[in-house]
Structure 1
Amino acid sequence: MVADASGKSSPLISLCAGGTAGGVEAFCTYPFEFAKTRVQLYGHGSSRNPFRIVGQVVKEEGLSALYKGCSTMIVGSIGKDAIRFVAFDSIRKMFEDPETHTLGPAQSIMSGMVAGVVSSTAIVTPTERIKTALIDDAKTLQRFRSPWHCVATLAQEQGLRRALYAGYVTTTLKQIGTTGFRLGSYSIIKDWERSRGYNVDGPLASFANGAAAGTITTLATQPFDTVKTKAQQAKAVGTMDAVRIIMAEDGFFKGFWRGTVMRLGRTVMAGGILFTANEQAAKMLRALLGPQYQ
């Protein structure tokens, strides 16, 4: 993913570039994430237009409300993308062709899936849980004063494990699918273009390939994201309870693909930003750190 011409990549470069890309992407696209989460929590009774949701929140709750929970997501995104880029690059090295430094489609997707499990367990589930609880609380009881206060309150009421790892199964399934499809499809597209002599290292190519990977990812994994959001609201809701609530409210297609427009708007842009920032950060870090970190 963050490789030089020989196909090799330093774990330090992958870690720093992935973390930088995750933070940039999270901040730039958070209003879409906020709108998507609101629709997934309360979508059966409100507008599904992301721009209308954003406008309503600004009018009723103020501009700052759009970034409720953003700091948690930025921290989570820095850690998540740092970990999954390192994991993906490390796993990719084990399976890639030693001469061409490319992977087959199945190997690319499998490498991404394993990276998804690692990132979900290490950082994604806790930060997603806190972010979702903060967004839910801002709409309802408004009792959480900060991310730390949110964690302390939920831990006291529900226990630390549930406070941080509610929705772990669906979050991990989502990360397996998301990371597998996103990193896997990006790698497949990039390897295919490189094999045909196209320049894949420029910002425009990185953005276009990342946006395409984001579209594929969103459509394939939306049900997991919807159930995950419902299971991570402020009050304790089990995974199967979340499934039943969604089915009762909106039915199968309308319910499980709730928030697709918002998430698609975010992930298409996020995919472009993420991979472009990652590639450019890697280039700058390699130039700054010298050949020993190539």
Structure 2
Amino acid sequence: MQSPGQANRGVVAMIVDTVKTRGVAGLYAGAGAQIAGTGLKAGVRFMTYDTFKEMLRTDEGKLTPGRTMLAGLAAGTVEAVIAVTPSETIKTKLIQDAARPQPLYTSTLDGTVSICRTEGFGGIYRGLGPTILKQASNSAVRFTSFAMLQSVALETLKPASGKLSATTTFATGALAGLITVYTTMPIDNVKTRMQSLGAGAKYRNSLDCLVSIVRHEGVQRLWSGTTPRLARLMLSGGIVFSVYETLMGVMLAL
């Protein structure tokens, strides 16, 4: 993830500079919050999605693209409240703090305790609004695009087993990730700004942040950081959907 001050720098240049100034460990700043949050986020997301997906099926047992999108919106909203906002806020602040000449936080736990102590419990829920918007749109776009791409692949390839291979599922998930990135990148950038250190003093709300970015930095800045996020979401999309489809197949066979 890029912080606002790094928006114009290339990914490779950022990696090289980070390793030079802070060592390889600098690349993993905020990793504790990221690792803890990732498992929780995925669990909440898919559990909520599957729950709403079954609730929204038609009497014939079908799930239209519109209903798939609604299930994705619900999954993203629940995920944002329970898991994403706290972990992303802590991660963002830890990364920015680690870039200081004299960091204030010694670990993820120390950073979390310090943030809660100085800003209150609400400190780890800063940017909840844009995070809900981001996660809801992310899940809606990702689940809907994956379902539609999966349907097209099944109709085109017509596998004898009636199921796509792991390789095709990975490719479908990766493509869904690509679509998600370009669709939701502006929301992600606003969310990141709102969760950064000092955001409360700089922006009144998410809309003010959005207007400020466009006015002072140009519309194109809303898509800054696309490359690293694209690589991450395409890879994670392929892996997550492949694992999900495999596990669902195993569980249904029990």
Change (3 A) 1:51 1:200: farther
- Provide the rounded CA distance (Å) in 2 between the counterparts of 1:176 and 1:117: 5
- Provide the rounded CA distance (Å) in 1 between the counterparts of 2:148 and 2:57: 12
How far 1:145 sits from its partner (Å)? 1.1
- Confirm or deny that 1:156 pairs with 2:121: no
- Provide the rounded CA distance (Å) in 2 between the counterparts of 1:158 and 1:102: 47
Contact 1:84 1:115 in 2 (8 A): yes
| SS in structure 2 of the partner of residue 57 of structure 1 | helix
| SS in structure 1 of the partner of residue 141 of structure 2 | helix
**1:81 paired residue among 39, 42, 58:** 42
| SS in structure 2 of the partner of residue 54 of structure 1 | helix
Please give the root-mean-square deviation of Cα atoms over the aligned residues, in Å: 2.1
- Confirm or deny that 1:206 pairs with 2:169: yes
- Confirm or deny that 1:216 pairs with 2:182: no
1:242-266 CA-to-partner distances (Å, cap 9, x unmatched) read 33542354212x2211111221122
Contact 1:110 1:184 in 2 (8 A): no
Task: Report the count of equivalent residues.
Answer: 246
Gapped regions of structure 1 (runs ≥ 5): 1-35
- 2:238 corresponding residue in structure 1: 272
| SS in structure 2 of the partner of residue 37 of structure 1 | coil
Q: 1:246 is matched by which residue type in structure 2?
A: I
How far 1:270 sits from its partner (Å)? 1.6
Q: 2:115 is matched by which residue type in structure 1?
A: L
- Confirm or deny that 1:256 pairs with 2:222: yes
TM-score by length of 1: 0.77
Change (3 A) 1:157 1:263: same
How far 1:218 sits from its partner (Å)? 0.5
1:146-191 CA-to-partner distances (Å, cap 9, x unmatched) read 1221122122222111x11101000100001101011121122223
- Provide the rounded CA distance (Å) in 2 between the counterparts of 1:50 and 1:282: 36
Percent identity at matched positions? 29
- Provide the rounded CA distance (Å) in 1 between the counterparts of 2:131 and 2:209: 13
- 1:105 corresponding residue in structure 2: 65
- Provide the rounded CA distance (Å) in 1 between the counterparts of 2:249 and 2:64: 25
- Provide the rounded CA distance (Å) in 2 between the counterparts of 1:242 and 1:147: 27
